[in-house]
A and B are shown apart, each in its own frame.
Chain A
Amino acid sequence: MTTETTTPAAAPVATGPLRHLRFHILRHDPRDPASAPRLQTYEIEEAAGMTLFIALTEIREKLDASVSFDFVCRAGICGSCAMVVNGRPGLACRTLTKDLPADITLAPLPVFELIADLSVNTGKWLRGMSERLETWVHSLGEEVDLRRIEQAMDPDLADKIYELDRCVECGSCVAACGTARMRQDFVGAVGLNKIARFALDPRDGRTDADMYELVGNDDGVFGCMTLLGCQDVCPKQLPLQTQIAYLRRKLALRTVGSTRS
């Protein structure tokens, strides 16, 4: 057995020369009538392995205690901290400053209601989406007997469902979506991905017709203009393009089918 190795792995985080960083942060409190949106600049020294979480925390601790932003897990798991970083939506906690230029512009996600500065109300939007699309398993019948062995499921299917279930509802896809900017009620890639996830799940009793009722319109799968900003920015690399195309084909066929009959 080979459990002895003599060469340790390389040291983590290859660090380049550390720089002087300038953060240009969009500041605005929509509840304050005197507040007007503006960019405010903060200057800090870069540190090895610095993420935007570390940088913003330092700005708040050392330079300006009033800057609002949202972090929870700071590990790329919870989806709280999506913001627009130099024009591109993404998770701030997972963004390393070394991958950015020395001038970093941070803005809140568009589409969502602004709370203050970089903080937006994704929760409200997403709860609305969940209620509309009924993003839960619609059980097929009787309550299960919890004492009994669970229903078997094909292991590959379980993996496939999890693949789509990995969405953290960060809102990046909505912020990067052309349709969402134009159609207030567009469910976004996040919503379409949910439908694809539940359509795949044999525990959900809903039929294709039920799914069609939910997303078979311009606020759903037919509103997508195939710009696919969603796929580009998804921090979990979900196969959004494939799911949207699949849903559209499936639901379009259904429309054709129902017209024929």
Chain B
Amino acid sequence: MKVIYTDVLVIGGGLAGLRVAIGAKRRGHDAIILSLVPPKRSHSAAAQGGMQASLANVTKGQGDSEDVHFEDTVKGSDWGADQQVVRMFVNTAPKAVRELAAWGVPWSRVRQGDRQVIINGQKVTITERAEAHGLVAQRDFGGTKKWRTCYVSDGTGHAMLFAVSDKAIEQGIPVHERTEALALIHDGSRCYGAVVRDLISGELVAYVAKATTIATGGAGRVYRVTTNAVICEGIGAAIALETGVAALGNMEAVQFHPTGIFPAGILVTEGCRGDGGLLRDAKGHRFMPDYEPEKKELASRDVVSRRMEEHIRKGNGAQSRFGEHLWLDITLLGRAHIERNLREVKEICESFLGVDPAEQWIPVRPAQHYTMGGIRTDHTGQSRTLKGLFAAGEAACWDMHGFNRLGGNSVAETVVAGMIVGEFVADFLESGQGEIDIPTALVREALAAERGKLDALLASKGSERADALKIEMQQIMTDKVGIFRTGKDLEEAVARLQELLVRSRNIGLRYRIDGPNPELVTAYRTQKMLKVALCVANGALTRTESRGAHFREDHPRRDDTNWLRRTIATWADPMATLPTLSYEPLDVMKMELPPGWRGYGNKDYVDHPDTPRRAAEVASVRERTKEADRHAVQAALMPYEDLLPERFRGRNERIDERLP
């Protein structure tokens, strides 16, 4: 048997995985990254509009701080987020931007003086301060009180990914490209690495590691209509689930992005609306102010997507041969702005639609976009149930997004989680727990089990076709587990997905070589994807309330009394057809920001019994500390700084908040 040993095995070569490896390496630990594709091709590159960090350099960002970013993120999450994790995140995000600036990311910079922008459909002149000239610029995004989204034109993820990937090359971190982890090696309480398939040769290799980090991104491809890259199939989450020990959190929390181009589902950035673009219906009417008078096009994504679908249901969609859609109008931004700040959008419109967005409107409709749920971890990124297994980025649920993620918080999370989890992985390795003592039989058996499954597939005369099952699953998810959900649809979805899972055990291949064999890959991935899809659908069926992106037409209110808790899914019996669900309550009495109205969307919700008590406590703490600075107030409400790795503690300097 072939075995490769390393300190840290990182599964996934996007921003989160790369940054974890760089962090561990800086602390003197060897890391190997596994990646399905060359790292620079990862889906991180598709983040267009930018990353949120409260630098407050631009005029419209003045007054921004960790506090405002925290509040926006928690409200965006519809109080599903872990507020301590959100605090860790918002305090590290400015440091992440500054680190990336030092690593070469060509952030778009502030130009001092007057400039014209479009706000709420009108031309407005704003004046940038001289002292901000040349600092990292911010643009507006949905669900935020301040302009906070740092950007590189609209190729932010690309520029970040290239800088971080090149940093990993500088550090000599090996990336084993075109390899896929098929199973984790574990003994029921500790993870020891993974069984890995070489996608070119078909060879299986055991990677044995003291710590294993999954950073494989989201699971968008369980849906038919998604902005996600074709590699975002949730396999990292699936292999964690298949241990029967590690758990997935909140898988029913799925984000739909308002502006997928119709019908292909390719993303055009929220920056379009942040920069002043409008949504229009078949008649050309700007409809969002009718529904959301405060935030209009810039309410959170879950709210805008729902309003769009609602407007289409009322008969206001534009007709096309592929169905109905709405329009995104960025013509009012002017050609010069589009060609400088929205150039990827322009390229996409030209290439895929034959549309010049400076002249014509863009056909859009919401499309699956982001997996808020993922491998459940603690604030260090480590699984709460399987020691030595870590997760970071979209694959993880350490839970900073709750039930809805804000635009610009995901690409920010990739690097921030990478920084934080990388340090905690190193701490773990340097602690007594980092040592492993692994019987070779465990490795041999893990390899043999995967070999056996692949050989069975390659030899199978089964009647089921992998492609067909996968397409059916995707269609069920898009039709029945989408933006508007009902108990009836979800029951049907769960039942049909269970049937598909059973049928997937009878997949037969027409093409039986074990090298570069796309049919074999589809076969084993479909079996795993169906389990992930069932976690989403079953979690959605069971959650009889509406929270963030999870909207039940038959239970339209947020219900904090019964549902202020995280869904935890495990899959102990490989032959089961449903995950086992349990629930983890959120403690209102520890929240810095007790549940309330988000400031947009539905005002009607059921309070948790603790909420009034905690709200009174928070009010009295604020009263007591009203003379103190904001950091002291925050510390009195919900201490968190001791949770951060030491390297990333400390206040962030701003033009208006100088450090001594």
What residues of chain A have their CB less than 8 Å away from a CB belonging to chain B? 1-14, 29, 31-32, 48-49, 51, 60-61, 65-68, 70-80, 94, 96, 115-117, 119, 121-124, 126-127, 130-131, 134-137, 139, 144, 146-155, 158-159, 161-162, 165-166, 168-169, 198, 201, 203-204
Query: B63-71, B345-353, B436-444, B589-597: which one contacts chain A?
Result: B345-353
A1 contacts B121, C-beta separation under 8 Å:
yes
In B108-148, which residues have CB < 8 Å from any A CB?
Answer: 108-111, 121-122, 133-137
Q: How far is the CA of A131 from the CA of B178 in the complex (A)?
A: 19
Contacts between chains A and B (CB distance < 8 A), count:
247
Q: How far is the CA of A78 from the CA of B348 in the complex (A)?
A: 13
Query: B97-105, B188-196, B388-396: which one contacts chain A?
Result: B97-105
**Can you list 25 pairs linking A and B with CB atoms under 8 Å apart?**
A1-B122, A8-B283, A9-B361, A12-B355, A31-B200, A31-B515, A32-B515, A66-B519, A74-B266, A75-B348, A77-B155, A79-B40, A79-B41, A94-B351, A123-B38, A136-B103, A136-B169, A139-B102, A144-B98, A147-B653, A153-B107, A154-B109, A158-B106, A158-B107, A169-B38
Known A12-B355, A32-B513, A94-B351; further 17 A-B contacts with Cβ < 8 A: A6-B284, A61-B467, A66-B517, A72-B229, A75-B46, A75-B352, A78-B40, A116-B516, A130-B166, A146-B648, A147-B651, A149-B135, A152-B134, A153-B109, A155-B108, A162-B159, A165-B155
- Tell me the smallest distance from the CB of A98 to a CB of chain B, in Å: 9
Q: How far is the CA of A228 from the CA of B108 in the complex (A)?
A: 30
The residue in chain A whose Cβ has the minimal distance to the Cβ of B231 is: A72
Q: How far is the CA of A117 from the CA of B152 in the complex (A)?
A: 36
Residues of B within 8 A of A70 (CB): 37
Q: How far is the CA of A162 from the CA of B266 in the complex (A)?
A: 23
Given known pairs A14-B354, A204-B104, the reply for A77 and B264 (CB within 8 Å) is: no
Given known pairs A147-B659, A152-B135, the reply for A8 and B361 (CB within 8 Å) is: yes
The residue in chain B whose Cβ has the minimal distance to the Cβ of A94 is: B351
The residue in chain B whose Cβ has the minimal distance to the Cβ of A160 is: B106
B98 contacts A8, C-beta separation under 8 Å:
no
| Cβ of B518 under 8 Å from chain A | yes
The residue in chain B whose Cβ has the minimal distance to the Cβ of A31 is: B515
What 8 pairs between A and B have smallest CB-CB spacing? A123-B38, A152-B134, A9-B361, A65-B519, A137-B104, A146-B95, A155-B109, A9-B360
The residue in chain A whose Cβ has the minimal distance to the Cβ of B167 is: A136
Candidates A4, A14, A122, A165; contact of B106 at CB < 8 Å: A165
Candidates A134, A147, A161, A168; contact of B650 at CB < 8 Å: A147
Residues of B within 8 A of A144 (CB): 98-99, 102
- Tell me the smallest distance from the CB of A93 to a CB of chain B, in Å: 9
Residues of B within 8 A of A198 (CB): 104
Residues of A within 8 A of B352 (CB): 49, 51, 75-76, 94, 96
- Tell me the smallest distance from the CB of B523 to a CB of chain A, in Å: 9
What DSSP secondary structure best describes chain A's contact surface? loop
Task: With a 10 A CB-CB cut-off, give which of B167, B200, B471 has the most chain A CB atoms.
Answer: B200
| Cβ of B613 under 8 Å from chain A | no
A166 contacts B158, C-beta separation under 8 Å:
yes
| Cβ of B522 under 8 Å from chain A | yes
| Cβ of B43 under 8 Å from chain A | yes
Q: How far is the CA of A119 from the CA of B263 in the complex (A)?
A: 27
Q: How far is the CA of A115 from the CA of B107 in the complex (A)?
A: 36
